[in-house]
A and B are shown apart, each in its own frame.
Chain A
Amino acid sequence: MVTILFDGIAYGMLLFVLAAGLSVTLGLMNFVNLAHGAFAMAGGYAALVVVNRLGVPFGLGLVAAFLFSAALGALLERTLYVHVYAKSHLDQVLFTIGLVFMSVAIVDYTMGSSQQFIAIPPVLQGQITVLGIGMSKYRLMIIVICGVLTALLQLGLTRTRFGSRLRAAVDDQRVARGLGINVGAVFALTFALGSGLAGLGGALGAEILGLDPIFPLKYMIYFLIVVTVGGTSSITGPFLASLLLGIGDVAGKYYVPQLGAFVIYTIMIVVLIWRPQGLFVRKGAR
């Protein structure tokens, strides 16, 4: 029972790190970025290359994944995304889904299409038992890393100058500009940060979710579920939604294996009927 809860939390945390960037772009910047998973995949493969081929320690591999995806995100944001911010949602969807297919083809061509595994140090393999509860070391590490990240994100968004600039830029771009905030730079930095987080999630998740060229398509639906269920106006919403979905998914597969993968969708439908705007909505939000 507790082990299931533990696995569910680990899975949920992972989903959150993967989807956090999407909730920022979609919720705060009002931009539909279906290519979010591609950044996660980029991070996964970056970690794979530096850890498996160059022999860099796993921890540094995670950092590399973050930096690579963040740089990629910043580059694409400045060169491509910036042109579609003002376009309609349909244009954004078509543009980003095109990016997804391109990323799938590029990775397929360069890295091959079979499943890849990042070599994990022996320290992180196996289980440890605390108070009679068996916990996977790797999943424990995921919980710790993701927990710290969540706290940092929340603090960063509510307590720092950058956070308040971002919120201002989102609430009313024109006024923010008038006040001397460089909205373009704020958005670019935010986008890079979100992509970097996705990349980190992709690298962390390779062990659990697998890593292959169709990753962005396979998990796109999960990211979108997290964001829709959580609502798009804060960090806490998607965070709690991720936990709910992670635990629900794992527990569902454990207790009612016949229904297997449907549980996560059932949760989404119920939540959306109950609260169509998502679990957590700020009053007066767009």
Chain B
Amino acid sequence: MRVKVLTPLAVALGLMAAGPASAQGVVKIGVIEAMTGQQQSTGVQTLAAMRLYMQQHGDTVAGKKIELIVKDDGAVADNAKRLAQELIVRDKVNVLVGFAVTPTALAVAPLATEAKIPTIVANAGTSIITERSPYLLRTSFTLPQSSVIIGEWAAKNGIKKVVTIVSDYAPGADSEKTFTEAFTKGGGQVVEALKVPLAAPDFAPFLQRARDASPDAVFVFVPSGQGATFVKQFIERGLDKAGIRIIGPGDVTDDDLLNGMGDQVIGTVTAHMYSADHPSELNKKYVEAFKKANNGLRPNFMSVGGYDAMHLIYEALKKTNGDTNGDKLMAAMKGMAWESPRGPISIDPETRDIVQNIYIRKVEKKNGELYNVEFATFEAVKDPGKAKK
């Protein structure tokens, strides 16, 4: 199987080397996103932001026309791999962008290495992803970034006992581990670590167990779609009345779904890299333009990953004067720093991972709508998953 996969690729690469003229004048960006299935909102948000960027900055950079080729992988790793092959071999794309979930990014990593194609992870958040190929970069976030910060913050802000509830898959394990380390280092105690099956999210028994342990707060990471169910059941079970708070990385209070969760979520404290409420001029414009272009849809943290991926590609092309050679683009992208709607960010030249501010936010009601309002900032946070090594 592996041989079969490699052969057409090798042939294609040979062809590309023989006749680079085919790509003259056009830069093709292959977008592999989840446009259907449970992660649909991620795909929709990311792609909308990418299109918005092109609309705002024109579709020509350094004399080259930018062309998006969008493929739907339904957040399934096998599909992502197949589509990446198609994009590389048949469409001869110059850059790959997307990857709603970690497994899809991991599946494409070996192809990126082999074809020497800069591949930008715009969504997935497991720490190890960028280590899997020297051609991977990330414009989203890593779960340890926000989990460590919320752990440190909680320990300093009167939270002593915590029960962790995370979905039982790689990002969940990542966030639980890094939160626990940071929180216990700060003097806190994790009294119970619960893992919830990813597929059947009835949180009732887990919440009951958390309640019986009577902690100060529950640390929660679930994929963004399940956040609303979690919060509803949390309230239904009366954990809020028992004086237990919800803390966690910002996936729970996803901007896209926040308004549907109801007023009960007010007061939830999370750490994350983007809030639609981020008080900067750039972000205000971004939110306004995004809503206008998408029927009033509010941009969420996944969208800025797509927006910044486009910025990275545009700026790298300007640096290389339109040269689409994979290694030259990579060199141009590494170390780049700019202001994103989320605040100042940069690409770490060593790990190719994102360095960004992490904000502590609290859900509040503003003008009749729910927002994550930022009230503390941790500046230029590197991925703690790698910093340790």
Contact = CB atoms under 8 A, between A and B. Distances in A.
Contact of A208 (B199, B204, B209, B260): B204
B205 A209 contact: no
A126 B235 CA distance: 7
Contacts of B202: 11, 208-209
B174 to A, nearest CB: 19
Interface stretch (B101-109, B137-145, B223-231, B272-280): B223-231
B206 to A, nearest CB: 6
Highest count of chain A CB atoms <10 Å: which of B37, B200, B226, B229: B200
Interface in B193-211: 194-197, 199-202, 204-206, 208-209
Interface in B176-204: 194-197, 199-202, 204
Interface string A85-110: 00000000000000000000000100
Interface in A230-261: 249-254, 257-258, 260-261
A250 B236 contact: no
B24 interface: no
B195 A11 contact: no
B345 to A, nearest CB: 28
A127 B228 CA distance: 18
A147 interface: no
A115 interface: yes
B168 interface: yes
A136 interface: yes
B235 A251 contact: no
B38 interface: yes
B204 A134 contact: no
B124 to A, nearest CB: 18
B64 to A, nearest CB: 35
Contact of A212 (B38, B205, B237, B257): B38
Contact of B228 (A7, A112, A115): A115
B196 A207 contact: no
B209 A261 contact: no
A127 B206 contact: no
B245 interface: no
Interface string B284-323: 0000000000000000000000000000000000000000
A125 B235 contact: yes
Contact of A7 (B199, B201, B208): B208
A117 interface: yes
Contact of A113 (B37, B228, B235, B260): B37
Nearest to A209: B202
A214 to B, nearest CB: 7
Contacts of B168: 260
Contacts of B228: 115, 117
B204 A7 contact: yes
Interface residues of A, number: 33
B205 A261 contact: no
Contact of B232 (A112, A117, A209): A117
Nearest to B236: A136
Contacts of B214: none
A252 B196 CA distance: 12
A244 B40 CA distance: 36
A285 to B, nearest CB: 31
Identify the interface centre among A125, A257, A261: most chain B CB within 10 Å of its CB. A257
A11 B199 CA distance: 16
Contacts of B201: 210
Nearest to B238: A127
A149 to B, nearest CB: 21
Nearest to B199: A218
Contact of A254 (B199, B205, B238, B257): B205
B85 interface: no
A79 interface: no
Nearest to B229: A210
Contacts of A127: 236-238
B208 A4 contact: yes
A260 B232 contact: no
A8 to B, nearest CB: 8
Interface string A5-28: 001000100000000000000000
A13 B180 CA distance: 37
B237 A136 contact: yes
Nearest to A116: B260
A253 B205 contact: yes
Contacts of B270: none
A261 B40 contact: no
A125 B235 CA distance: 9
Contact of A115 (B195, B197, B229, B233): B229
A7 B34 CA distance: 35
Interface in B22-36: 36
B232 A257 contact: no
A31 interface: no
Given A117-B228, A127-B236, A127-B237, A257 B195 contact: yes
B195 A254 contact: no
Contacts of A7: 204-205, 208
B41 interface: yes
Contacts of A251: 205
B109 to A, nearest CB: 26
B232 A4 contact: no
Interface string A65-79: 000000000000000
Given A113-B37, A117-B228, 17 more contacts: A7-B205, A108-B37, A113-B36, A113-B40, A115-B225, A115-B229, A117-B260, A125-B236, A126-B235, A127-B236, A134-B238, A136-B236, A208-B202, A250-B204, A252-B205, A254-B205, A257-B209
29 contacts: A4-B205, A7-B208, A108-B36, A108-B37, A113-B37, A114-B38, A115-B226, A126-B238, A134-B237, A134-B238, A208-B204, A209-B200, A210-B201, A210-B226, A212-B225, A218-B199, A218-B200, A250-B204, A250-B205, A251-B205, A253-B205, A254-B208, A254-B209, A257-B195, A257-B205, A258-B195, A260-B195, A260-B196, A260-B197
